[in-house]
A and B are shown apart, each in its own frame.
Chain A
Amino acid sequence: MDAMIPQSYRIQRVIKETHDTFTLELKPPDHLGQFIFNAGQFNMLYLFGVGEVPISISGDPSKTETLTHTLRAVGTVTKQMSKLKKGDWIGVRGPFGSHWPVKESIGNDVVIIAGGIGLAPLRPTIYKILSMRQQFGKIILLYGTRTPADILFRRELEKLRSRLDIDIYVTVDHATPVWKGNVGVVTTLIQRSPFDPFNTTAMICGPEIMMRYTISELTKRGVKSENIFVSMERNMKCAVGFCGHCQYGTKFICKDGPVFNYEQIKKLFGKREL
Chain B
Amino acid sequence: MESLERILQEHSFVKDLATEHIQLIVGCAKNVIFEPEKFLFKEDEEASEFYIIRSGKVALEIYTPEYGPITIQTLGEGDVLGWSWLIPPYEWRFDARAVEFTRAIALDGKCLRGKCEHDPKLGYELMKRLANLFEQRLYAMRLQLLDIYNLRSTK
Contact = CB atoms under 8 A, between A and B. Distances in A.
Chains A and B form a bound pair: yes
Interface of A: 74, 115-117, 144-146, 150, 171, 173-175, 177, 179-185, 187-188, 191-192, 206-207, 209-210, 213, 233-235
A175 B79 CA distance: 20
A236 to B, nearest CB: 11
Given A145-B149, A207-B149, A234-B155, A182 B74 contact: yes
Interface in B62-105: 67-74, 76-79, 99
Nearest to B151: A207
The 3 closest A-B pairs by CB, nearest first: A116-B149, A146-B149, A175-B71
Given A183-B74, A184-B74, A173 B144 contact: yes
A74 B150 CA distance: 10
Nearest to A235: B155
A234 B154 CA distance: 9
A235 B144 CA distance: 26
Q: Is the interface of B mostly helix, strand, loop or mixed?
A: mixed
A192 B59 contact: no
Given A181-B74, A182-B76, 6 more contacts: A180-B99, A183-B73, A183-B74, A188-B140, A206-B149, A207-B149
B21 interface: no
Greatest chain B CB density within 10 A among A175, A183, A206, A213 is at: A183
A177 B68 contact: yes
Interface of B: 57, 59, 67-74, 76-79, 99, 139-140, 143-144, 146-153, 155
Q: Is the interface of A mostly helix, strand, loop or mixed?
A: loop
B56 to A, nearest CB: 12
Contacts of B67: 177
Nearest to B148: A207
A36 B24 CA distance: 63
A174 B139 CA distance: 16
A264 to B, nearest CB: 19
Nearest to A274: B155
Greatest chain B CB density within 10 A among A144, A150, A182 is at: A182
A185 B144 contact: yes
B153 to A, nearest CB: 7
Contact of B59 (A74, A183, A233): A183
Nearest to A232: B155
Contact of B140 (A74, A180, A184, A234): A184
A192 B77 contact: yes
Given A74-B152, A175-B71, A185 B77 contact: no
Nearest to A233: B153
23 contacts: A115-B148, A117-B149, A144-B149, A145-B149, A146-B149, A146-B150, A173-B144, A177-B68, A177-B69, A177-B71, A179-B71, A181-B74, A183-B71, A183-B73, A184-B73, A184-B74, A185-B144, A187-B140, A188-B140, A192-B78, A209-B143, A210-B148, A213-B143
